[in-house]
Amino acid sequence: MSITMQSGPVHQPDQTRGSLAARSFVLGYGVLAYLVFFVTFLYAIGFVSQLIVPKTIDSGVAASPLRALVVNLALMSLFAVQHSGMARQGFKRLFANFASPALERSTYVLLASLSLVLLFWQWQPITAVVWQIETPALAYAAVAVHFLGWLVVLYSTFLISHFELFGLTQVVTHFAGRLAEPMKFKTPGLYRLIRHPIYLGFIIAFWSAPVMTVGHLLFAAVTTAYIFVGIWLEERDLVAQFGEEYRRYRQKVAMMLPGLF
């Protein structure tokens, strides 16, 4: 998904948007997709942090390590294919041939959320411990850093228009019969320091754990690898869309850690 682009509505009437019933359907679909995302995001925090939710990354009936490895890799691969495939410009153009473009982002968000729900449901724990922080103060510090990572993720989405990123802006604009402004390249807040604060937040959240099991380590390692693949794909699209403007930004601003990479 693009994390440095922002669009907004302009007050132009659009007679091609369809009837009130059709526009209401698009709006309701978008709101439903956002609610599914929001609940899934909250569950993801509990799943990784092992708090409150009924099924976590280390809970459930443990299968054989080999079976767990195969199942978990398949679940993460399914999410990766859906998440990256539907984010590409080719899919977006194809989608526009069959449905309103206003539904594209909401559909992406909904299917990504459902693939995560499947992952949470079918995840197989591998509970052998890789490391455990015994010192209480350090363990609490690791938990605090973990939640700081999730905060960075959420904060960064609002820097670049949270409701557009998750499809609500598009369906509300469509319902009002207005056209969206052309995409603009913006680098607010943290984006002046690093190009991908959302991804950095996820990496912090996934790796900062007072107890790291083999299953948790597998999840963190595979998702981190996928993040770097996703960055490569996303930046290729951003260069194609914004050209020299994005190339200059990429030269000046670090990918994840200022002064390092």
In a domain, 81, yes or no: yes
Of 120, 127, 119, 126, the closest CA to residue 66 belongs to 126
Number of domains composing the chain: 1
Residues 77, 85: Cα–Cα separation, whole Å: 12
Q: What pLDDT is recorded for position 53? A: 94
Task: Return the sign of the alpha-carbon dihedral for residues 47, 160, 237, 93.
Answer: positive
Give the contacts of 42 (CB within 8 A, at least 6 positions apart): none
In a domain, 257, yes or no: no
In a domain, 258, yes or no: no
User: Along the chain (261 residues), what's the average pLDDT of each consecutive run of 10 residues?
Assistant: 38 54 90 96 96 92 87 94 85 84 91 96 94 94 97 94 89 84 79 94 96 96 94 90 90 87 76
In a domain, 34, yes or no: yes
In a domain, 87, yes or no: yes
Q: What pLDDT is recorded for position 181? A: 66
In a domain, 259, yes or no: no
Q: What pLDDT is recorded for position 87? A: 80
Which range marks the domain in which residue 86 is found? 5-252
Q: Which residues of 119-143 are buried (b: 16+ CB within 10 A; e: fewer)?
A: bbeebbbbbeeeeebeeeeeeeebb
In a domain, 229, yes or no: yes
Q: What pLDDT is recorded for position 183? A: 67
